[in-house]
Structure formats: structure tokens, C-alpha cells
Chain A
Amino acid sequence: MSLRPRRVDFDQTWATLLQTVKGVITFGSVARSTWNDRFSDVYALCVACPEPLGDRLYQETKLFLENHVKSLHQTVIESNKENLLTVYQQHWEQFSKGSSFLNQLYGYLNTTFIKKQKYSDADLNYGGFTVELTDQMLEIGELALDTWKKYMIEPLKQQLLGLISLEIESDRHGSCMNQSVLHGVITSFVDVEQYKKKLPLQLYEEIFETHFLKETGEYYRSEAAKLRDECSCSEYMEKVIKKLIEEDVRSCKFLHASSHGKVTHECQQRMVADHLRFLHGECREMVGNEKLQDLENMYTLLKPINGGLGVLVKEVEEHIKSFGMEAVRNLKGVDVPAQFVESMLEVHSKYTELIKKVFGTDQQFVGALDKACATAINYKSNPKTPCRSPELLAKYCDNLLKKSSKGSSESEIDDLLGSCITVFKYLDDKDVFQRHYSRMLAKRLIHGQTASMDAEELMINKLKQACGYEFTNKLHRMFTDMNVSNGLQEDFNVYLKEGPTDLGLNFSMLVLQAGAWPLGQSNLPRFAIPQELEKSVSEFEKFYNKKYNGRKLTWMHGLCTAELKMNYLKKPYIVTMGSFQMAVVLMFNETIKVSFSEASQHTQLGEKEMIKQVQSLIDAKLLTTEGTLSTESVFELNMSYVNKRTKFKITAAIQKETPQEMEQARSAVDEDRKMYIQAAIVRIMKARKIFKHNQLIQEVIHQAKARFAPNIAMIKKCIEALIDKQYLERTQNSTDEYSYIA
């Protein structure tokens, strides 16, 4: 067979071709050789001379397809109503497959004759067409589908839709017979326009989806109303969830993938969003009683609804808050710090768990938990007094890190400290915590009460992680000083060995850098050092001044401790006490009785301090006196002192926190805050030059947030102070604006 164009008799060729076409479209059997011959016939027609007959072939084929589909349509509508869908589906199955084969048979016509006239993709996408696209020629396969659409779907659509609705309705009641038919019919709406480049789903959406969504909506509206009448809220939610899942499965079963989301949305609207008020109304009670299953359901339902979760989140927040507040208000009895921290952690971990389990750690709920915890932790029993939480937390850490803390293992301590950080992160007044923490750390270090340096450092690193370098740098410096002091001590020991002097006692010294330690430098009590120690003091000062230039050493006698050996008793006791106590006790090396005034004169201690020291010795039963202690008292050694332990401390009374110390810490915090705020204002103003009052306040609050929540009055005072110091001035043309004075 030659490929050369030749004269072809159209009618004759078409007649034979038609036979095969019929066979193909009805999916009958066609022999391979016949197929090949007909393929050549198509070719021959297309290239026939003198005139190519492609156009005519196309028209004839089109006519044939129209007639074929029309006759199919007849058979479909003649079938009885129950079978209509099945019949339609069968014919469609056959037709769609047949047409794809037909398309191949007409391969040459498609590629040469029709492609040329088609619009390219670019034309379709970017060309502003006003011409009806249906006018153009289609490939034969497409032509077949288009014909099906025109002569089958269009006239039949009302009937089809009605039947589909019925089928789906019965599926919803759990009795659908022929799912594959239904699926086939619905997909025929999609497939029939699949070839279109633009809006391939248009037909499906127009004739089927819109209608279906409306019906679904109606159906579930009435279902929901029915359920509302019959069920309690928790049942309602369960049933709705079940229905949603079922409907989801159903849409996967029958519908095109593009509809799934729309169907789900429609169902949610009808069954959840329309009943939002009802559901929200139930939230409070569910949260209050912590009905986990109900809450989980509620969350599942409300989550996809726009603005649905707000009420639930709020309720959860309120609930957690009320629990936290309850715990904070009920703090009393012994060991308040532990109670506070532990109850807060309990609330926190309980609800973290709950949010994880019920709400899948949804960020909105985590946020609610954070807010609730912050409110509870920063709760003030009295709005005028500062919040006690930072102090309590610091005290709790102190107890953990001190020696003899119930002998917890290292990893336990580690965990507990970690949980302290959890609470710490919620504190508004982090600076207050830092104050107290550093004060307690100083005591631990100076009095050697630290249980483990590793644990101490761990905690500081945790704080650093949470709050940054600046927050902990003073704490770090305290550690450095301890190390420096150790080195110094060794040097001093070497110095002593080389020198001729013997101090007569085991002397060790901590030299701390004044600025880094929270030790009051002012109003140190007056104190004359016992002469037994004078040599140590002068030797060390000599040593120190030789080693360092330009440094002034101040002795903090209140913080010194001494270990004394009591040889006057039946057994020798070794007692650790403070320097002031020691000074009093050492007087008894000379005499048997000491009067108050003698002691005062000897030690130079003030009256108040003296009473405190002597009282502590009397309480420890080392000294005796008649009656209550007064400035007239005379005291003597208790010669019949007995203690089970031969080594003990009586420093506790002296080292105990005094209310004044707490007070001092608080006022120091206020001073620090003022400085911090002023620095912040200057920084801001230096950058902005001119700034509005309100904006300035906002900015300061923002900058201070990581450390504390500043109050507005304090910021205003700081602004005033800076105006007085001529860092700022009010601008002339506006009352609420400041400018920076360079």
C-alpha cells in the first residue's frame, strides 16, 4: 500500500469505515487486519486528491455519533425507572471506552487535520477569546464525548439527578445497592469534559455538585434539628462526628476529589456552625467537670469552624486559672515555698497533659494555659503589696541547693531545678527573683552550704538559657570570686610558710568583689576584732596590699564564721559560730563572768546587735544568765553543757533571714528597676530623638518585659527624673512629646 495521495471514492470508503466505527463504538469485536485497513482508509481519505476529504469525514462521523447517542438515549429513557441508572452507566462505560478507541482509529485525522485548527494552550490561557469554543473542531474522541454530553446528559440530567439523590439518600440510611453504578454515573459528568483545558469540572460542578451540596445541606439541617431534640449535647457531638466521618467516606466513594472539602464544609456548617451557640453554651460545664471525651469531641467539631474555638479556649483558660488561684490562695503552714512551687507545677503538668491528650497540643490552648499559669503565679493577694511568688520560688531553689536537702539524687535535683524554670518563665517580676536568688546564693557560698557546685552551675545555666547573659552575670561573678579566693588562699598559705609569723589558727579568707555580691556595704556594725585574730587580719592585709595595688579591703565580720573548740567541758566540743558570737565567747578565756556593758565595750558592738548575739548563745545553752536578757545582765559559761553531738553549729540563728533583709531586697529591686527604666528611656530617646509619651511608655514596657512588668507611675517618675537631669525635654509645640537632648 502506498502512502501517496490518490483518488478515493468517499461514499464507498465511508460505508466500509462506518461498519468498523460502529463496531468500535459499541465495543464489538474488530479483527486486527480490519482495524489496520480502516486506519489506512482514514489516512487515504485525509490525503485524497484532488481534494482531501478530511472535512467530509469529520462531518459524517459527527453525524453518525449524534445519531448513535440519540438512539442510546432512547434506550435509556425507555428502561424502567429503577434500572435507568444502571442502563445509563452501562452505555456510558461502553461508549467512553469505545470513543477512546475510535479516537485512535482516527489518529491521522486528529493529528493532521484537526490539530491545525485547534487553539494552542497559550491561546487558551492568555488569549481573550470571545468566540464560542464549541465552534471549533474537536478530536474524534472529544467529539464523541461532546456528543454524549449534548444528546445524552443534557436531556437526561433532571432525571439522573433525581435518581442520584434518591440513591444517596438511601445510602445515608445504610442501604445502597449499587455503589459502582452510582460512582460511574457521577464520574461520567467529570470524564465527559475531562479533555477540556479550561474549567474541566464545569459541567460536573454546574449540573451535579451545586445541586448535591444544596441537598446535603438540607438533609443535615433537618438531621441536626432532629438530633438536637432527641439528644444531650455529648450524644449530639458523638453522632455528629459519626455523621461527618460517614459523609466523608461517602464523598470519597462517590464524588470527584474536588468535592470532598466542599461537602465536609457544608456538613460542618449545617451541623456545627449553625448550632454554635448551643455548643458554646455547653463548654463551661464540660470544662468545669473536665469531661475529657466530650471536650475532645467538642474540639474536633469546633476546630474547623471559623472562630469556633474561641469560647472553648477562654473557658479552658478560666478553668485552669481558677485552679491555680485556688492553689495560690491556700498556701499556708510550713514550707510555703515548696507548696507553692509544687502546686503550680501540678496544675501546669496536669493541664499540659490534658491539652496534649484532648486538644492535640493545639497552640491556642497552650497559649491559654500559659496565660492562666501566668495569672495564677503572679497573683497578688493584696494589690498594694508586691507578689510573693519570685521570693517563694527563690527560696524553693535555695532549699534544693542547700546541703542536707533530704538527700535527693543528682538527677532528681536536676529535674526539680528544671521544673523551677518552668515556673520561673511565668514570673512577671524576674528581677525580684534574681535579687532573692543572688542573696541566697551568696549565703550558700559564703557559709559553705552549697550541696553541689555542679547543681549550682546547672541552675545558673538554666537561668541563663531562659533569660540571657545579662540576667546571670552577677551570679557568674560570684562563682569566679570563689575560685579566685581559693587561689588567693593558697598564695597566702605559701606567704605564711615563708614568713616568720604563725597566726595561731587555721585561717582562710574569701575576698569578694564588692559590686558583684548582694552584700550591704553601708552601715556595717561597729566591731572590735578579738585580739586573738588581730594578727591574722594584719598579716592578710599586708599580704593583700602587696599583691594588689589600689584595692581597699573591707572586712565583713558579720559574715565570718569560726570554729571553736570548747575544752572546759567534760568532752571537748567543736562549735561553729559567727565572729560576733566568737568575740563574746572568747572573753571567757579571761574571766568567769561577763557583764553586758563589759562585753559591749570589749567588742564595740551596738546594743541591738549585742542582744541578738548573746541571746543566740543563751538559746544555744552555752551561756547562762538570770532572768531575761537586758543591758544590765551578767552572763557566764554553762559549765554543765551537754550535747549528743561533739561538733555542731550555732550559726543558724545569725544566718537566718531577717525581715529587714527581705525588705532591703525589695527596695533594692525598686532602685534597680528605676535605673533599668531610665536606661531604657535614654536608649529609646537616643534612637528616636522625638517621641510621643504613649509610644515611649509602650516601648519601655516592651523592653522591660523579659525582666519585670513596670508600672506606669514608675515610668512617669523616671521620665520626670530624666527631664530634671536634662537628658530629655518636653517639645515646645506639643504637651505629650519629648525630645532627646544630646
Chain B
Amino acid sequence: MKMAVIDPAENEVNKNIWIAVGTWRWVANDDNCGICRMAFDGCCPECKLPGDDCPLVWGECSHCFHIHCIVKWLNSQQVHQLCPMCRQDWKFKE
């Protein structure tokens, strides 16, 4: 997307292109994952790199875990799938 420069006034300075830089980090209600106890800024024990390959998920109860950790936990539950922190039914928050 190239911006056309419209006929400028005498002393106009036009901004043309802006390359912005930002960083992101997780915003969670805690520093560590309640299951693996690893920092959210890091990854779960199974992964080597934190970031997009080891994302966080939130449940409707607002608790937050590494996706790998909570999926592993849910798979190990036979009957009810509960949040390991608050024991409410686990539902992924949309």
C-alpha cells in the first residue's frame, strides 16, 4: 500500500510510511501456569520455545494455562472435566 502524496501546502511535511515496532507478552492473572508451574513467559515443559507454538488458553472460570498442559490434564480426566484450580466445569473461553 503506497500512499499517494496529495498536492501539499507550501510548508507541508507528509508522513509516508511508518514502520512501527511493538512487543507482546501474555497478560494472565498469574505469573506461572498452575499445572506445570512454569512461567507464562516461558513455555510448557514439553516445548522448547515459548511463543506462538506454545500458547495460553483461558477457561470460562478465567483461569489460564499453557494449552498443552490443560489439554493433557483434560485427557487424563475420566468423568468430569474440571478446571484444576477451581474445580468448576472446564469450558474454553471463546
Contact = CB atoms under 8 A, between A and B. Distances in A.
For A469, A563, A567, which residue has the most chain B Cβ atoms within 10 angstroms? A567
A231 interface: no
Contacts of A473: 48-49
Interface in B40-58: 41-42, 48-52, 56, 58
16 contacts: A477-B51, A481-B51, A506-B16, A506-B17, A506-B18, A512-B22, A514-B23, A517-B23, A519-B23, A536-B20, A562-B17, A562-B19, A563-B15, A564-B13, A565-B15, A586-B15
A552 B56 CA distance: 13
Contacts of B22: 509-512, 553-556
B35 interface: no
Interface string B1-45: 111010011111111111111111111100000000000011000
B61 to A, nearest CB: 14
Contact of B21 (A506, A512, A565, A585): A512
Interface in A496-542: 496, 504-517, 519, 521, 532-533, 536-537, 540
Contacts of A481: 51
B83 interface: no
B45 to A, nearest CB: 15
A507 B16 CA distance: 9
B70 interface: no
Given A510-B20, A560-B21, 16 more contacts: A469-B48, A480-B51, A480-B52, A506-B16, A509-B19, A509-B20, A513-B52, A514-B24, A515-B41, A533-B18, A550-B56, A551-B27, A554-B25, A563-B16, A566-B13, A585-B13
A506 B15 CA distance: 9
Contacts of B16: 505-506, 562-565, 574
B68 to A, nearest CB: 16
Contacts of B50: 513, 515-516
A493 interface: yes
Contacts, number: 161
Given A510-B20, A551-B27, A505 B13 contact: no
B23 A532 contact: no
Contact of A588 (B11, B20, B27, B64): B11
B20 A560 contact: yes
B13 A507 contact: no
Given A506-B2, A508-B19, A554 B24 contact: yes
B33 to A, nearest CB: 13
Contacts of B10: 568
A589 B13 CA distance: 6
A719 to B, nearest CB: 24
Interface residues on A, range: 35 or more
Interface in A476-497: 476-477, 480-481, 484, 493, 496
B24 A637 contact: no
A330 interface: no
Given A550-B28, A565-B5, A513 B23 contact: yes
A559 interface: yes
A76 interface: no
Give 5 closest A-B pairs by Cβ, nearest first: A567-B8, A563-B17, A559-B21, A514-B25, A552-B27
A672 to B, nearest CB: 15
A579 B25 CA distance: 22
B14 A567 contact: yes
For B3, B18, B49, B51, which residue has the most chain A Cβ atoms within 10 angstroms? B18
Contact of B13 (A506, A555, A588): A588
Contacts of B15: 504-505, 532-533, 562-565, 582, 586
A592 interface: yes
Given A515-B50, A550-B64, A567-B14, A561 B19 contact: yes
A565 B16 CA distance: 6
Nearest to B53: A480
A446 interface: yes
Contacts of A562: 15-19
Contacts of A554: 22-25
A35 B49 CA distance: 94
A695 interface: no
B39 to A, nearest CB: 9
A549 interface: yes
Nearest to A513: B51
Nearest to A516: B51
Nearest to B41: A515
B27 A565 contact: no
A505 B18 contact: yes
Contacts of B14: 564-565, 567
A531 B65 CA distance: 38
Nearest to A521: B23
Contact of A507 (B8, B20, B93): B20
B23 A511 contact: yes
A504 B2 CA distance: 10
B51 A565 contact: no
Contacts of A484: 52
Contact of B3 (A505, A508, A637): A505
Nearest to A552: B27
Given A505-B3, A561-B19, A567-B8, A552 B13 contact: no
Interface string A570-586: 00101000010010011
A505 B17 contact: yes
For A469, A536, A589, which residue has the most chain B Cβ atoms within 10 angstroms? A589
B16 to A, nearest CB: 5
A603 B70 CA distance: 45
Contacts of A476: 49
For B27, B28, B51, which residue has the most chain A Cβ atoms within 10 angstroms? B51
Contacts of B52: 480, 484, 513
Contact of A510 (B8, B19, B42): B19
A323 B25 CA distance: 50
Contact of A589 (B12, B17, B64): B12
A508 B5 contact: no
B11 to A, nearest CB: 4
Contacts of B18: 505-508, 533, 536, 560-563, 579, 582
A569 to B, nearest CB: 10
Nearest to B7: A567
Nearest to A446: B21
Contacts of B24: 511-514, 544, 548, 551-554
A509 B18 CA distance: 8
A568 B13 contact: yes
Contacts of A555: 20-22
Contacts of A586: 13, 15
Contact of B58 (A469, A513, A549, A552): A549
Nearest to A551: B24
Nearest to A556: B21
A551 B25 contact: yes
Contacts of A508: 17-20
B57 to A, nearest CB: 8
Nearest to A566: B13
B78 to A, nearest CB: 29
Contacts of B21: 446, 509-510, 512, 555-556, 559-560
A510 B19 CA distance: 8
Contacts of B20: 507-510, 536-537, 540, 555, 560, 579
B38 to A, nearest CB: 12
A559 B42 CA distance: 24
Contact of A592 (B9, B11, B12, B42): B11
A568 B48 contact: no
A511 B56 CA distance: 17
